[in-house]
Amino acid sequence: MEKEIIILISALLGAIAAYITARVTSSSQQNIARINADKDYRIHTSTIRNERLKIEVALRREKLEQLHLILSKISTENSQTISVIQSSDKLSLSDFRHRYLANCNLIHEAQAISALYYPEIRKYLDQIYNQSTRFWFYQENILRTDITGKDSGLHNFDNIREAAVKISSITSNIMNEIEIQGEILSQTVKCDLDIST
């Protein structure tokens, strides 16, 4: 009977040892699995964040480019050169007003981009709009005036020149800000990609 008790105790100790070994192994595997899952989650989250950042930066760059092109058109349409061209080409009032409305639409498009992506430049676009309205008002007066050398025509040209210079100056300042914003976007992507690698 003693033999049987020893066999029973040995079997029981073997079972306990097997249970403890299985428990320790299972716990270790769970910890390893948790560590791997956390690592995978961090990698996946970082990848998603990087992709999201790239998409956002690409969108903002596209909007900066659009804004730059629009401002170039606005600057051209509100320049002394265009004033002279319109005056010498005897542009009809109807055609002139269509160009004026197209110019307003360009400014509104720039304001929309600014409102959504770059609100800090909105006030400058409002200044451009105000100066543009002056420019086109005086330009229409020139087109309506039969140029006979009267002072009113010269007064209109002076006001057009003044508005055009202000628009050019404001536009130039905004374009400089666009360049700075573009550089910031480039640095943002570069820094974030350096951190994540």
The answer as to CATH 1.25.40 being correct for domain 62-196 is no
Burial label, 80 (beta-carbon count in 10 A; 0-12, 13-18, 19+)? middle
- CA dist., res. 184 & res. 88, Å (int): 44
Q: Are 50 and 127 in contact (CB under 8 A)?
A: no
- Count the neighbouring beta carbons within 10 Å of the beta carbon of residue 194: 8
Average pLDDT, the chain: 88
- Among candidate residues 42, 182, 34, the one with its CA nearest the CA of residue 190: 182
Note the Cα 10 to chain centre separation in Å.
74
Q: In this predicted model, which residue has the larger pLDDT, 162 or 16?
A: 162
Residue 193, pLDDT score: 56
Place of tokens 């690698």: 197
**Which amino acid is residue 118, in one-letter code?**
Y
Contact 100, 136 (CB under 8 A): yes
**Banded model confidence at residue 142, pLDDT cuts 50, 70, 90:** confident
Q: Which range among 12-16, 61-65, 78-82, 121-125 shows the weakest confidence by mean pLDDT? A: 12-16
Q: What is the pLDDT of residue 33?
A: 86
Q: Is 62 helix (H, G, I), strand (E, B) or coil?
A: helix
What digits encode the pLDDT tens for the residues 31-77? 888 998 889 999 999 999 989 989 999 999 999 999 999 999 999 99
Q: How far is CA 154 from the centre of its chain?
A: 42
Helix 122-144 and helix 151-196, axial crossing angle in degrees, nearest 10: 150
Residue 150 reports pLDDT greater than 70 = no
Neighbours of 143 (CB within 10 A): 19
Yes or no: say if 167 and 75 are a contact pair by the CB < 8 Å rule. Answer: yes
Q: What is the pLDDT of residues 74-99, one digit of tens each?
A: 999 999 998 888 888 877 889 999 99
CB count within 10 Å of CB 74 equals 25
